[in-house]
Amino acid sequence: MKIHRIASTGNVLHFDAAMKRAAAVADELLGENMLLAWYDRERDLESPAHVSECHEGCPTKGFWDYAMNRGGALAVDFDDGRFVFCFRPLGEFAQPQ
């Protein structure tokens, strides 16, 4: 999975703003896409919920493994893991143009 890193450079970035920015990056780099998984380190929340429970002691986080095994092609990473959003292109599932 390609990782696109973004440093907030002193700006206070909240989860909703980060998600909007990540979606814009995914639109630009992948075209039509789907958000597969995300992680919020500050609140220790992830989606899908509880995917890390079976990864206790593993070097790979559950949200990352989930995205990788479902076609994840792009991770947008803010501030070295503060927020991470994983996307896949819709590809064959996209609406015909």
pLDDT digits (tens, 9 = 90+) for 40-50: 999 989 988 77
The predicted structure's pLDDT at residue 97: 45
Class of domain 2-91: alpha beta
Please say if the pLDDT value at position 12 is more than 90: no
Cβ-proximal residues to 51 (8 Å cutoff; 6+ apart), any chain: 37, 62, 63, 65, 66
Say if CB 26 and CB 33 are below 8 A apart. Answer: yes
Say if CB 86 and CB 67 are below 8 A apart. Answer: yes
Residues 70-79 have a mean pLDDT of 95
Please say if the pLDDT value at position 4 is more than 70: yes
The predicted structure's pLDDT at residue 18: 94
